[in-house]
Structure 1
Amino acid sequence: MKRFSALAAATMLAGIAAAQTVSDPQAGSGQEAPASNLNLPRDLQVFGKADPNIRKATAIVNEAVITGTDVDQRLAMITGLRGVQVSAEERDQLRLQVLRAIIDETLQIQEAANNDIKVAKAEIDQSFARVSRNFERTPEQMTAFLTQIGSSDRSLRRQIEGELAWTRLLRRQVEPFISVGEEEVNAIIARLEAAKGTEETHLKEIYLSATPDRAAEVMENGRKMIEAMRGGTPFEYFARNFSEATTKAVEGDLGWISPAVLPEPLAQAARTMQVGQIAGPIEIPGGYSILYMVDKRQVLMADPRDARLSLRQVAVKFPTALTPTQVQARADEFAELTQSIQGCGNVNAVAQKIGAEVVDNDSIRIRELPAQLQEMMMNLQVGQATPPFGSPSEGVRVLVLCGRDDPAAANAPNPEQIQAGLEQERVNLRAQRMLRDLRRDAIVDYR
């Protein structure tokens, strides 16, 4: 393990599970207050009618109008930039979630303006250009693409304005009042050393808040998200656009974290998950979480998957007219011949016999290989070849291990990294509480 992020150190050892709930940090337990605090009657009678089939798509937020066009364009932007296809039923539900996100965004911009914070057009233009580059487009191409998919550059610019305004407000109203003592940092360093060798996990999370009356609806939404992920929609798409945790800005990334500091339901899931697996929706105080296991490792221990390999790939392609039986026969022949490889020195000679192509890669980490190959490469000796792998369309290939540079021993994060991580975690918690208060004080008229 060569790298240990500041957020990881703070999250893992400060005992704070990043953005797991929207509860008040000052409540003591860190959990939602039980429903009994509301003094609800046991045998309540409903005197009105709430029709769940009525879906209002527009709103006036403290006199700022959010139109149906605003919602539709934002939804088109979210799905279009990711190339995601959604059903009519999913689209209706996504419109509601997008509306809630735009309401929060509007509240953030309004609160920033109340504190004399405005984002200049030049700053928005600069960020718009950067986002365009991230999608391999010029600003002009991005504008044309957004129009083509039924959105507009105005929708993306509004989202950028909201993020910049909120960040600047936090920098002024919150960050100057966050302090982390030297004793806290030293305690984390000591606990890191004590935890050396224990397992930690790299997780991503989608957090969906749920009041008791919306629990079933929110859980069903979470299930639909997971179904879409298993169908190919990226986890990050849902995390970035629909998670209600502060980590949505980094696509739900919690960084490296010890399962022990997570809420128990999430900890249980993390201990049993495999790399690449999705778990959820998992009920936690205040709502539900969906987890994605990015990776695993041991605290302050060198990870063998960080070893850099020198590889030679031997590959042949199949003619398109072959039947499955013929493909299998060719693959068997290839396997027999490649297993005669004795070190990288005679790879070219073997390749010439079977008309194979040879490609070298002198610096690839084991963790950068497909999951099916990682365990195989961990146990391969220099000079040995993997079993053949591939597909009928792309042909068959083997990798020959020519050399391995094992990773150096890992080091603990420095005090500055730990302090920065703790400070950012506390800013996130304060920001969460600020947004909750803005929601409570807002006048929202749905139309």
Structure 2
Amino acid sequence: MITRKTAAFRRAAKASSFRFTLAAAFAVLAGAPVSAQNAGDSIKIPEDVRIFEDRDPNLHKPTAVVNGQIITKTDVDQRMALIVLANGGKLADEELARLRLQVLRNLIDETLQIQEAAANDITVTKPELEESFARVAANFRQSPKDFAKYLTSKGSSAASISRQIEAESAWQRLLRRKVQPFVNVSQEEVKAVIDKLNASKGADEYRVGEIYLSATPENADQMFANGRNIIDQIRQGGSFAAYARQFSEASTAAVGGDLGWVRAGQLPDALAKAVTEISVGQIAGPIAIPGGYSILYLSDKRKVLTADPRDAILSLKQISIAFPKGMTEAKANVIVKSFGEQMKGLQGCGSVADIAAKLGAEVIDNDNVKIRDLPAPLQPLMLDLQVGQATPPFGSADSGVRALVLCGRDDPQDANAPSFDQIMAQIEDERVNKRARIYLRDLRRDAIIDYN
């Protein structure tokens, strides 16, 4: 068998132009978590269980010692602050208590990952951590120093983010050394995927985010409830990517759970069914799959290897009128009606300046706008608009009334098939991801953990 190697962790480093999930990857690896029936048979749990010790379900240990390394209450509090921050500071007390337990579990996993990497002579240096922290700060348009102060003001710290960065980096390096070299993908496998992809041209393709929660027969109910709570928080305005980064146990946690573009046939049956039943912007789950539960978020949809009209590049003029402060709704409606009549009589983009002068309106030009980047309610309007036409008026009492005039459109070409190397890298990603889960499971089983 001829094999080729590519980097299995491109997903965490940068967004790939083509990423997908193979259904086969969920089943082929040996050592996957056993089914409930097998687990019950192997550990021989009697039907008439009697508990000999009363425990207060509301009493939880806030800290832990993992193989001699302490996780403090401050560690938990600072990581909790990041989650609260990602949810706009709004979390119910019950949710905070549940999340605190999950955060402690995450910190334990991070500790195990860092310890295992160190045992294999893998460390993340201080300069590397500082560079990664600076990139995170830049995403918030702040300097590292200012970002550290901002985190402190919110009850977190630069150290909390740096710890997460260290765990992710050390774990990925460890997997590259001890797992990825033993993952082989043949040319025949890749060619088969390419053939199937070409045969599927025009089929629906989905941009999916996933939060994976592992579960055993013993804690399945608890993990299902955790998944429901996560969904509730996301539906109330929480960030899916933030929850995926904190709680997902898949390698895609590092990129906010993003699976990239997938077809339904490339997902396990339960996930395939769910993704075809929800609309863009909706969430589904928790969905039972081998080894745990998945939560899916559908962020976009398109046709395989077919140009998406929403990728058309538009040349636009925006014409807008501000409402005077304190204007009544009746007067505002008169302005909107007049404005709409003027737009209907528009004779191409060349007449925009004259109409704007009559109305006392402001005109803004933009020659590089994708339809998909416009607000969702405007996208179908722009798809049907002809050059020289304007949208109906839109706006609000605060922002005033405005319309977009289409001055030009560059339609997209049909998408090219992903490259051989892109497909090979993605298959490797999936196989490494499955083995990584098993690796971390074994570390948990062997760890000595004291809860304080």
Which TM-score applies when normalising by structure 2? 0.90
Structure 1 residues 327 and 214: alpha-carbon distance in aligned structure 2, compared to 1, 3 A threshold: farther
Name the SS for the 1:206 alignment partner.
strand
Q: Deviations over 1:115-142 (max 9, x none)?
A: 1222222222222222222222222212
Q: Is the 8 A contact 2:320 2:403 kept in 1?
A: yes
For 2:39, the equivalent position in structure 1 comes to 37
For 1:260, the equivalent position in structure 2 comes to 265
> After the TM superposition, which residues 40-189 of structure 1 pair with which residues of structure 2 at under 5 Å, given as runs?
40-80=45-85, 83-189=88-194
Structure 1 residues 374 and 32: alpha-carbon distance in aligned structure 2, compared to 1, 3 A threshold: farther
Q: Is the 8 A contact 1:6 1:421 kept in 2?
A: no
User: What is the CA-CA distance between 1:255 and the residue it aligns to?
Assistant: 0.5
Q: Is the 8 A contact 1:7 1:424 kept in 2?
A: no
Q: Matches of 1:118 and 1:5 in 2, distance apart? A: 27
Q: Which amino acid aligns with 2:119?
A: N
Given the alignment of the two structures, is residue 364 of structure 1 paired with residue 372 of structure 2, yes or no? no
Structure 1 residues 397 and 381: alpha-carbon distance in aligned structure 2, compared to 1, 3 A threshold: same
Q: Which amino acid aligns with 1:230?
A: R
One of 224, 232, 237 as aligned partner of 2:237: 232
User: What is the CA-CA distance between 1:157 and the residue it aligns to?
Assistant: 2.2
Q: Matches of 2:367 and 2:158 in 1, distance apart? A: 43
Q: Is the 8 A contact 1:24 1:433 kept in 2?
A: no
One of 387, 393, 397 as aligned partner of 1:388: 393
Q: Matches of 1:210 and 1:432 in 2, distance apart? A: 12
Structure 1 residues 204 and 53: alpha-carbon distance in aligned structure 2, compared to 1, 3 A threshold: same
Which TM-score applies when normalising by structure 1? 0.91
Q: Deviations over 1:299-347 (max 9, x none)?
A: 1111111111111111111112112233223222221221111211211
Q: Is the 8 A contact 2:64 2:72 kept in 1?
A: yes
State the number of aligned residues. Answer: 435
Q: Matches of 2:322 and 2:451 in 1, distance apart? A: 60
For 1:8, the equivalent position in structure 2 comes to 19
Name the SS for the 2:46 alignment partner.
coil
Name the SS for the 1:26 alignment partner.
coil
One of 353, 358, 364 as aligned partner of 1:348: 353
Structure 1 residues 265 and 15: alpha-carbon distance in aligned structure 2, compared to 1, 3 A threshold: closer
Structure 1 residues 178 and 211: alpha-carbon distance in aligned structure 2, compared to 1, 3 A threshold: closer
Report the identity percentage: 54
User: What is the CA-CA distance between 1:212 and the residue it aligns to?
Assistant: 4.1
Given the alignment of the two structures, is residue 26 of structure 1 paired with residue 30 of structure 2, yes or no? yes
Given the alignment of the two structures, is residue 426 of structure 1 paired with residue 434 of structure 2, yes or no? no
Tell me whether 190-199 or 238-247 shows the greater mean CA deviation. 238-247
Structure 1 residues 303 and 198: alpha-carbon distance in aligned structure 2, compared to 1, 3 A threshold: same
Q: Is the 8 A contact 1:7 1:425 kept in 2?
A: no
User: What is the CA-CA distance between 1:43 and the residue it aligns to?
Assistant: 3.4
Tell me whether 385-394 or 417-426 shows the greater mean CA deviation. 417-426
User: What is the CA-CA distance between 1:81 and the residue it aligns to?
Assistant: 6.2
Q: Deviations over 1:246-284 (max 9, x none)?
A: 211110101000112222232222112221122233333
Name the SS for the 2:141 alignment partner.
coil
Q: Is the 8 A contact 2:36 2:216 kept in 1?
A: no
Q: Which amino acid aligns with 1:208?
A: L
Q: Is the 8 A contact 1:210 1:218 kept in 2?
A: yes
Q: Matches of 1:306 and 1:334 in 2, distance apart? A: 29
Superposition RMSD on alpha carbons, in Å? 2.2
Given the alignment of the two structures, is residue 377 of structure 1 paired with residue 382 of structure 2, yes or no? yes
One of 414, 435, 439 as aligned partner of 2:440: 435
Q: Matches of 2:69 and 2:175 in 1, distance apart? A: 22
Q: Matches of 1:284 and 1:50 in 2, distance apart? A: 31
Q: Is the 8 A contact 1:7 1:422 kept in 2?
A: no
Q: Which amino acid aligns with 1:59?
A: A
Q: Matches of 1:237 and 1:264 in 2, distance apart? A: 26
Q: Which amino acid aligns with 2:411?
A: D
Q: Matches of 1:433 and 1:413 in 2, distance apart? A: 30
Name the SS for the 2:184 alignment partner.
coil
Q: Which amino acid aligns with 2:206?
A: T
Structure 1 residues 302 and 425: alpha-carbon distance in aligned structure 2, compared to 1, 3 A threshold: same
Q: Deviations over 1:6-43 (max 9, x none)?
A: 6525x2xx4357xxx7x88215xx77523343223333
Query: Which of structure 1's runs of 4+ aligned residues deviate more than 6 A?
Result: none
Given the alignment of the two structures, is residue 210 of structure 1 paired with residue 221 of structure 2, yes or no? no
Q: Matches of 2:288 and 2:331 in 1, distance apart? A: 51
Structure 1 residues 218 and 322: alpha-carbon distance in aligned structure 2, compared to 1, 3 A threshold: farther
Q: Matches of 1:204 and 1:153 in 2, distance apart? A: 27
Q: Is the 8 A contact 1:203 1:294 kept in 2?
A: yes
Q: Which amino acid aligns with 1:38?
A: G
User: What is the CA-CA distance between 1:50 and the residue it aligns to?
Assistant: 4.1
Could you tell me which runs of 5 or more consecutive residues in structure 1 were left unpaired when the two chains were aligned.
Answer: none
> After the TM superposition, which residues 252-331 of structure 1 pair with which residues of structure 2 at under 5 Å, given as runs?
252-331=257-336
Q: Matches of 1:424 and 1:46 in 2, distance apart? A: 43
Q: Which amino acid aligns with 1:369?
A: L
